[in-house]
Amino acid sequence: MKKLVLSIFMISALAVNAQENIIKLNLLGLALGNIGVQYERTLGEHSSLAMGISYLPSRSLPDFVIDEDSTTSLKSMSFSGWTFTPEYRYYFSGKAPKGFYVAPYFRYSTFIVDKVDISYTSTTTNQEVKVPADGSYKATTVGLMLGSQWLLGEHMTLDWWILGVGFGSQEAEITALGDFSQIDIQDIKNELADIDEEIPGSMDYTVTSNSVNIKYDPEMPGFRGFGLCLGYKF
């Protein structure tokens, strides 16, 4: 009898261990052109660790961001990049990986921006001048996210990332090369000074006879969430 009970216990333990891993695909992100996957492994009744990786192939800004009648360089701008997000999850249900959870996380993001222009008005010709530029965006964030996960049968899961807020360092950098006269340099500086007064955050810029370099920190929290992931549990 003891051997039978022990055998049942061992089989149950093996079954639990065999299903403590989940591989997920972010369906909402995929609908927006962002390929995101996550691996989660339970540690106990209340906790798990997860690692998420997402890749955004080169794309333009969404149509709702830009007026369709606009001639702005934003219409031709494209961007692409990677995001890495390790996190710890605490499940309040005590039945991890099922139920409502809170997830402290770290996130590193890096993006490349192409085909963006730096525009200024020339005081010599009174015409708008556009200088082709490229740039990048990098962010390191620590935050907290709320979510809930459901078990759909024996092997499938549905994970809802409700909302997360993080704080850290962010920097966007844009660089343009050209041949600028002293008048051009002053015109560009005047244009950038006006922009700096109108936008939140901090902006530093350097303008020389052959380059324009702009660094911008929005000094705003980073938001995460609105994800819906379909997972396979094994």
Q: Is the pTM of this model over 0.85?
A: no
- pLDDT-derived band at 66 (thresholds 50, 70, 90) equals low
CB contact burial 199-234 (16+ within 10 A = b; e otherwise): eeeebebebeeeebbbebebeeebebeebbbebebe
| Residue at token pair 């005081």 | 123
Residue in 111, 138, 146 with CA at minimum distance from that of residue 227: 146
pLDDT above 90: residue 145: yes
Mean pLDDT across the stretch 34-54?
A: 97
Mean pLDDT across the stretch 65-78?
A: 61
Residues of the chain with pLDDT > 90, as a percent, come to 74
Residue 134 and residue 85 in contact, taking contact as beta carbons nearer than 8 Å: no
Question: Could you report the per-residue pLDDT of 108-117, keeping only the tens digit for each?
Answer: 999 999 988 8
Question: Could you report the per-residue pLDDT of 16-32, keeping only the tens digit for each?
Answer: 444 589 999 999 999 98
H or E segment to which residue 193 belongs: helix 182-198
Residues of the chain with pLDDT > 70, as a percent, come to 86
Given this model, what pLDDT does residue 168 score? Answer: 95
Mean pLDDT across the stretch 152-176?
A: 95
pLDDT above 70: residue 163: yes
pLDDT above 80: residue 2: no
Separation between Cα atoms, residue 146 and residue 164, nearest integer Å: 6
- pLDDT-derived band at 10 (thresholds 50, 70, 90) equals very low
Given this model, what pLDDT does residue 61 score? Answer: 72
pLDDT above 80: residue 187: yes
Given this model, what pLDDT does residue 70 score? Answer: 47
Mean pLDDT across the stretch 50-75?
A: 73
DSSP state of 62: P
- pLDDT-derived band at 36 (thresholds 50, 70, 90) equals very high
Given this model, what pLDDT does residue 71 score? Answer: 46
